[in-house]
Amino acid sequence: MIKAYVFPGQGAQFVGMGKDLYEKSSQAKDMFKKANRILKFDITDVMFEGTDDDLRQTKVTQPAIFLHSVILASLLDDFEPSMVAGHSLGEFSALVANKVLTFEDGLRLVSKRAMAMQKACEVQPGTMAAVVGAEDSLIEEVCASIKDMVVVPANYNCPGQLVISGSVEGVAAASEKLKEAGAKRVVPLSVGGAFHSPLMEPARLELAEALNETTFSQGICPIYQNVTGQSVSDPEIIKKNLISQLTAPVLWTQTMTNILANGARSIVEVGPGTVLQGLFRKLDRNLDLSSATF
C-alpha cells in the first residue's frame, strides 16, 4: 500500500507534548537536550510543564511542534514513506524526516522563521479568518474586490474551508462581503498576524537569507509542497518553494488531491493532533488514516 506521511502546522500544540517520548526513549531525550542547546532556552520545560499561554508564544510554538513531529518520526521502526507533506510549518518537519534537511539545520530554520514572522507581525499587525461553506472561487473574487486593503486567500484547507489573511481592516471588509454573498460562517482566528499574505514579506526576506546558507540534500522520497501542491524532489526547487511559502497560500486541498491521485491510500499523521486526518477524511472517507505512535 502506498503510504504518505503528513506533518501538522501551528495550532496543533498542547501542554505535555513530547513528554512521553522524552521519558520512553534515550534517543528522544538526547534530541530534546540538543534542541535546548541550539535554541538557547529550555523549550522542554515549556512543552512539558508550561501553560497554554507559554506554549502560544511564537518562539516556542513553531519549534515545539517541529520537535514533536521530527523526534517521533525518528523513532518509528517502519518509517518508509512513499511521499511526505507538511502543512505550513509542518513542511520543515517533513523535510527533516525526509532527510532533505538535518535535524539541527531544520530546528535553526524553524526558530529563525518563528522570530521573523513575529517581527513582521509587530511591524504590520494583521489577522486571519476561516471561511466555511463557500466556493474557493467566490472567496478569491471577494478578496480581489477589496481595494486599498490587504486580504488574500491563505490556506486552502479542504473543499468548503478556506482561511483568508491580511490587514485587520481588509479581513473585516472581506468577512462582511462573504457573509452577504452566502458563506455559511466566517470565523475570526486567534492568531498573531497575517500569515501567508504579503504582510509577511519582511519575514520572507529574512528567512530566504537563512535558507540560502543551508545545505539541502536529496530526500528519500518526494515532498508535496505548499506553494504548488505538487510533488518535488530537486533540493534547489524545494528551497525556492520554501522561500515563497511565507507570503504564498498553503495549497493543502491541492496537495491532498495530488497525493491521492498518485496512489496513496494510507495517510499517517506525525505529530500533535489529528487535524490533517480530518481534512483527508473530507476528501475520501475510505482512506486508512492513523496517527504515528511510538
Q: Hey, which residues are catalytic here?
A: 88, 196
CA distance 245 to 207: 10
CA atoms within 13 A on the CB side of 32: 26
Contacts of 170 by beta carbon, 8 Å cutoff, 6+ apart: 146, 149, 150, 151
Strands 161-166 and 231-232, sheet pairing? unpaired
CA distance 182 to 133: 8
Task: Look up residue 73 and give its three cell numbers.
Answer: 518520526
Tell me the backbone φ, ψ of residue 82, rounded to 5 degrees.
Answer: -85, -25
SS3 14: coil
